[in-house]
Amino acid sequence: MAESTIATGSVKASDFAPLAAGRSAETISRPSLSYWQDAWRRLKDNRRALISLYIVVGLLLLTLVGPFIWTMDPALQDLDQVSQPPFADRSATIAAPYSSWDTSDVAPSADGLAVIEPPTSQSVRLSWESIPGSSGGYRIYRNIFPIGPERALGLPLGDVFGGAPRFFEDRLDLEPRTYYYSVVALDENQRETTAFLQRTIDVRRVITAKEAIDKGLAEDTLPVGAELRLTAHPLGTDYLGRDLLARLMHGARTSLFIGIFAPILYVLIGISVGSIAGFAGGRLDQLLMRFADFVVALPFLLFMIVFKIAFGIGPGESGIFPMLIAMVILLWPATARLVRGQILSIKNQGYVEASKLLGASSGYLIGRHMIPNTLGVILVTLTFAVPSAIFTEAFLSFIGMGVAPPTPSWGSMCNEGLKTMLTTPHELIFPALFISITVLAFNLLGDGLRDALDARMRSRE
């Protein structure tokens, strides 16, 4: 452009007038961004990382504030509601205290299998018609699944022998649900015949007025037949009737405590060892790094278990701290190696040389130049270390080597939930879901932080 105007000879003298003073060319027109501001700007643009960050903050809130909002005791057993799924029916009816069944003036059923009184969780009273060929008596079964063509009768409740009247009372762990009862005729040798009666019975939950007061559900004695609602359990209960939401929140305290504090501790140790080794160099460096090599070679999970039993758990202790210490002992070398490498590459940079020339001490060089410049990489390592620590805790608690009961942790809750996976899957699903979401959030956040903080490690996705 400029050359062309000169070529056409249209240059005026005014074109060479000096610029008006007042606008300094030195002024930077845009606000300068610090390293961390720039990283935050990048992170904000990454939607996946930002959502993960929100999830992490939400989880921390759940852990710290949750137990103050949902104040249910995680160890409290609600035996009226054992293994209840979320949003289960909580209604109950007040019933008179149990009195034994006097069958002397009750006529046995003449038509199929009948329920004599309304079936409640207190007792189910059955009577049935006489089945031909039942000279030996009858055997009563109960199933929680439909009997089906394979004749899966379920749990044998008891036998009624030949001479006895055709009555049976079931009081065995009754829950408010649908049961499939069947009565099989026995031959003279008490062997089962093919003839049987069946009936589907919906059991209603009842409690006595006294129980209602004892459990704090009612203030005064309620009349028989009154309706009331049992304690709410938003996520259901486990096999001991403990509130799952409360246990998940207290379990989060265990899992996140280990998941966050163990990495912080071993990363700190790794930073100290790595920076000393990288800065000192020579013999000390060799020595520290050989030792780190040895520790890396220890089979991690085996030694987690060996160290954990070596530190021991006293009666009444949760076993969180032995696990923490074992993790710190075994995992510091990776960070130490990383920090050492970073320090070595920074050590010969111009600004470090300049600082050294100006008389900076070793401590100042490490604290002012080297560690702040490796902080980005360290933060990324830390974020990726959290999910693996959570996995380790869950894994150890799952095989029964982790946190001691009754302290809840997500891993031990999964372990308990696995046993009843087929009948009450929610006991496994919720803790497993929490572990997965947490691990996923920290992994995606780590990816985002790596992209934001470290230009060299930026992923190629």
Partner 1 sequence: MWAYTGKRLLQGVLTVWFIATATFIAMHNVPGDPLMNDKAVSTAIRANLEAKYGLDRAVFPDQYLIYLGNMVRGDFGISFTQQNRLVNDIIREHFPVSATLGILAVLFAALGGILWGALTALYRNRLPDIVIMFLVILGISVPSFVFAALGQLGLVQLNGLFGRQVLPVAGWGSVGHMLVPSLVLGLSTMAFLTRLMRSSMLEIVNADFIRTANAKGLPPTRIFLKHQLRNAILPVITVLGPAIAAITTGGFVVELVFAIPGLGRYFVEAVQQLDYTVIMGTTVFYGAFLVLMVIVVDLIYGFIDPRVRLE
Which residues here bind partner 1, judged by CB under 8 A? Answer: 293-294, 297-303, 305-307, 309-312, 387, 391, 394-395, 398-401, 411, 414-415, 418, 421-422, 428, 432, 435-437, 439-440, 443-444, 459-460
The DSSP letter of residue 369 is I
Q: How far apart are CA 184 and CA 186, in angstroms?
A: 6
Comparing CB distances to partner 1, the nearer of 170 and 427 is 427
Nearest distance from C-beta of residue 461 to partner 1, angstroms: 8
Comparing CB distances to partner 1, the nearer of 221 and 436 is 436
Give the phi and the psi of residue 208 in degrees, each rounded to 5: -85, 160
Q: How far apart are CA 404 and CA 321, in angstroms?
A: 11
Nearest distance from C-beta of residue 249 to partner 1, angstroms: 19
Comparing CB distances to partner 1, the nearer of 11 and 152 is 152
Comparing CB distances to partner 1, the nearer of 72 and 428 is 428
Query: Amino acid identity, residue 202?
Result: D
Q: How far apart are CA 35 and CA 376, in angstroms?
A: 9
- CA-wise closest residue to 158 among 188, 204, 124, 129: 124
**Do the beta carbons of residue 319 and residue 257 sit within 8 Å?**
no
**Do the beta carbons of residue 157 and residue 242 sit within 8 Å?**
no
- CA-wise closest residue to 179 among 210, 203, 155: 203
Q: How far apart are CA 226 and CA 207, in angstroms?
A: 10
Nearest distance from C-beta of residue 165 to partner 1, angstroms: 40
Nearest distance from C-beta of residue 153 to partner 1, angstroms: 18
Comparing CB distances to partner 1, the nearer of 367 and 425 is 425
Nearest distance from C-beta of residue 421 to partner 1, angstroms: 6
Q: How far apart are CA 213 and CA 209, in angstroms?
A: 6
Nearest distance from C-beta of residue 161 to partner 1, angstroms: 37
Q: How far apart are CA 461 and CA 452, in angstroms?
A: 14
Comparing CB distances to partner 1, the nearer of 133 and 299 is 299
Comparing CB distances to partner 1, the nearer of 366 and 432 is 432
Q: How far apart are CA 211 and CA 204, in angstroms?
A: 16
Query: Are β-strands 137-143 and 155-161 bridged in parallel, bridged antiparallel, or unpaired?
Result: antiparallel
At residue 99, the 3 state secondary structure works out as coil
Could you give the C-alpha distances from 4 to 7, 8, 10, 14, in angstroms and in order?
A: 5, 6, 9, 18
Nearest distance from C-beta of residue 450 to partner 1, angstroms: 12
Comparing CB distances to partner 1, the nearer of 183 and 444 is 444
